[in-house]
Structure formats: C-alpha cells, structure tokens
Amino acid sequence: MTDALRPVDITEDQLDDVLRVRARSFGPLPASAREEWRKDAVEFLEDGRYVGVAAGDEVVAAARIWDFQQWWGGRQVPMAGIASVVVSPEHRGRGVGSMLMRGVLQRSIERGFPLTALYPATTVIYRKLGYEFGGGRYRFSFDTADLRSLGGKEVRIRRAGPADAGRLLELVAQAHESGRANGVLGWPEAKVAEWLGDDDMFAYLADDGFVVYNWHDQDLRVEELIALSDTTARALWSTVGSGSSTARKVHAYISPNDPVHLLAQREADKETHVQHWMLRLLDAPAAVAARGFAPGVTAEVDLEFDDPEVPAHSGRWHLSVADGSGKLTPSERTGDVLRLGSRGISALYAGTPLAALRGSGLASGGSAGDDGVLDTAFGGTPAYMLDFF
C-alpha cells in the first residue's frame, strides 16, 4: 500500500532486494559481476550514500550518491553524482520515484553538496525536481591513420602506471584551471591509480601531458587526453594513431573545443555521439562562491528564485561578480528583477544563455543589460563530461 512506503538507508542485508529491482530496471547482472557490484555497493551504504524507498520490509527503489568534484569556471566544486536509480515496475508512476529523489536531494544537502548532477533515463521526473540540462558527454570519431600523421616525434613519452596518478592530476588541474573548464569531473588520486592499474587501459605520459586509451570492439577509444602544448598533443594523438594497422577508427571522449579538431587534417565523423546530463543547485550561495567566473567581468545583479524543493533558495538575492569570483547574498530590493525557477537557476549556472532561458519560459523580468552581463559571467567553454556514472 502507498501509505506503507517510507524512505530508508540501504543496508547490506537489503542488497538482494536492490539487485532484484535492478534486474527489472536494467536487466539481470551477470553472475560474474555480482561480487564486484556488492563490493561497490557496500562502499556507498557504509558512507550513507545509498538511499532507497521500502514498502513494508522490501526495498522497491534505490539510488547511489557519488562524492565528486566538478570543474566550473576553472575551479572545483563539490558535486553529488546521482546514479543507479532503480524503481520496481509495480511502483512506477505512483510517486515512488519522486519520493526516492527527494530523499536523495535531502541526503545530498545534509552531506554539504552545493550541486548535484545525473544522466537522466527520463527528463520528466528530474525536471519536476529542479534539474535541467547542464552539458554533454561527447564522443567524436577520427580516422586512426589521420591521427598517426600528426607528428610530435621530438616529444619523449613513457608508459604510465598507478604511481603516476598524482602527476596526472597535476596536469589535469593545470589544463582545467587555465582553460576555465566547465562540467568535467575531478577524481581522487586513489581512483586514478586504480584506473591506471587496469590492464585493459594503455596510459602514456609526457612532461606536459598524458593519454589513456583502450580497445573498443575493433577500434580504439580515448578515455582522456590532456596536453599543455601543441607538440605534446601531436605526440599523444600520434601514439594512439600508431594502431592504424589494426584499428580503423579512434573514438575519443573530448570537449567540442578540443585542439585535435584543429590539428587533424580531416574532420571527425559527421555522426557525433552526445549523452546529455542534468544539473541542479542545492546550495546556491555555496555553489556561486565555489565556482570561477569570467575574468574581467564585473556584475551587480538582483535576482528572484522560486524553488519549492529547496525552500532556502526561494526569495530575492543579490549576485556580485568581480575578479573571477562571485558572491550571492540575500536582498531586500523591491521592484522588477530577473526571476528564475529551480530549473532556470541550474541552467544559468551551467552557462545557458538568458535568451534560451527566456525563450523556454525559465526566466522572466529583469533587463536586457543584465542578461548580457550574466551571459558573459557564467559563460565560457561548453560544459562537458568525460565519464559516465
């Protein structure tokens, strides 16, 4: 019965229930993968990051909360990544998914995350709860032979392993700070070391860059490539391209603005694969204070938020931006100001232009002059992720 439903923290003895719901949501998990699934699940539940909904004694919905950092404006912001969202079929369309996600939002707020993001199986429920598109995960495909010819033979590279995890993170930070990256996930050193220890991954390191790639069917797939100079970019892409005798294509998870688009003689395949992800603000003042803003931009703009799911957001605010930093404080100003709902707040933070927000009804009021300032302040490189979670 509906009134028997209640939010719960998933415990280890409830994992069989979660596996059953998962099988009905995504298909059965192979027996060979269940031990690893349980090992990962225990890490989440022991840290209070596995929440669910129970009907009586049975778990009928569950979701995990990843403890991420996410780059915004060249600075890292704590972000709750929501994943493995499952609802038993007989409880779908009955408010259980919303109950689950409200529990997820509340737990994320309790844990101090100013942001949350997810890859949606459906946008309807998440938009009702204040999520909006934040960016994409882009996969471009290139001819392997074309990459092989990029040069860079003067650059010294070597194989990388788990002991190089710290150096990789240093290079990532340099690239994303200078490039004022938006959307990219930041991983702890232990997870990067684990990634580099995977025998199926091929990692190569130069003084100012690295590449990690693997096989994907009969082709090659670049998981991440960072280069702080064009010569190193050429060398690393050429290293991947050296497999052209056996792999016809290289599929690369990169930014739409990655320099390889300018280096390669031939453009990427016409069919680009994009997975959109959604963003939601949980603590707007903290989220604004943590991210970077366009240097040289000065802004003093009054806003009004309406956010039923996070009542602390609702009301009037004053946004100040200067010297690449921002501050959001309560305001008592009266009169017409820019008005945004929870979806509009999230989309603006991700760099969606005000013209698009107004055209979709997610923003109203305010002035055209403020629109231009806000577009510049929150804008920059397209928001993208390399990882699926």
CB 77 within 8 A of CB 116: no
Closest CA to 384 of 183, 187, 224, 186: 183
Provide the mean pLDDT of the chain. 96
R_g (Cα) of the chain, nearest Å: 22
| Residue 1, pLDDT above cutoff 60 | no
| Residue 80, pLDDT above cutoff 60 | yes
DSSP line for 300-330:
EEEEEEE-TTSGGG-EEEEEEEETTEEEEEE
The pLDDT tens digits of the residues spanning 57-66 come to 899 999 999 9
Read off the pLDDT band of 382 (50, 70, 90).
very high
What is the pLDDT at residue 27? 92
CATH number of 283-378: 3.30.1050.10
In total, the chain counts a number of residues equal to 389
The pLDDT tens digits of the residues spanning 250-307 come to 999 999 999 999 999 999 999 899 999 999 999 999 999 999 999 999 999 999 999 9
Residues of the chain with CATH 3.30.1050.10: 283-378
Share of the chain above pLDDT 70, in %: 99
What is the pLDDT at residue 4? 86
The pLDDT tens digits of the residues spanning 171-222 come to 999 999 999 999 999 999 999 999 999 999 999 999 999 999 999 999 999 9
Region 384-388 average pLDDT: 97
The pLDDT tens digits of the residues spanning 310-364 come to 999 999 999 999 999 999 999 988 889 999 999 999 999 999 999 999 999 999 9
What is the pLDDT at residue 88? 95
Show the CA angle centred on residue 270, arms to residues 266 and 276, nearest 5°.
120
CATH number of 138-274: 3.40.630.30
Between CA 115 and CA 135 the distance in angstroms is 14
Region 214-237 average pLDDT: 98
Q: What is the pTM of this model?
A: 0.95
Share of the chain above pLDDT 90, in %: 96
The region that residue 277 occupies, defined by phi over 0 for left and psi between -120 and 50 for alpha, beta otherwise, is beta
The region that residue 201 occupies, defined by phi over 0 for left and psi between -120 and 50 for alpha, beta otherwise, is beta
Read off the pLDDT band of 111 (50, 70, 90).
very high
Say which CATH architecture domain 2-130 belongs to: 3-Layer(aba) Sandwich (3.40)
What is the pLDDT at residue 3? 53
Residues of the chain with CATH 3.40.630.30: 2-130, 138-274
Four-residue CA torsion sign, 322, 176, 376, 305: negative
